Amino acid sequence: MFMKGRVLGVLCAVVSCGASFAQVSQQYSSCISKANTQTAMQLCANQEALRVDSELNDVYRKLLTAAASQSAAVEKIRAAERAWIAYRDAYIEAMYPAKDKQASYGSIFPMEADLLRAKLTHQQIGALQDLLKQYSGSTQ
């Protein structure tokens, strides 16, 4: 009985943790509502990280296109994006500093890391969209 209650508690924590780490998308919500194992929940988190990363790449390409006539701006945008990637990776490492992450943080670690990555990426999408507005002259 204790183990069953503990597993249920962990699952509840995972679902609420997922909601706090990521800007919960409809795709993630739909996936996680059907997930009934740690592996299935990890798959949902990984798919969310990949989906948000793809969205980031789309916005980044649009930004580079909009700024293409200003070569100095394009290089600064690229430098900022490289710096953001280094920041993102360092931030995730700071959140989970242990060398053996699986042993230190347990089986939930890959899911938490993917959801944190998705959250940080979603924030960067907003930043790139602000730049895109500046370079495209629109209010999208």
Q: List the chain pLDDT tens, one digit each, 140 residues.
A: 544 444 444 444 444 444 444 467 999 999 999 999 999 999 999 999 999 999 999 999 999 999 999 999 999 999 999 999 999 999 999 999 999 999 999 999 999 999 999 999 999 999 999 999 999 976 54
Sequence spans of domains, the chain? 2-136
Nearest by Cα to 27 from 48, 8, 11: 48
What is the DSSP secondary structure assignment for residue 91, as one 8-state letter?
H
CA dist., res. 29 & res. 25, Å (int): 6
The yes or no reply on domain 2-136 and CATH 1.10.760.10 is no
Give the global pTM: 0.81
Torsion, CA 15, CA 17, CA 21, CA 25, rounded to 10: 10
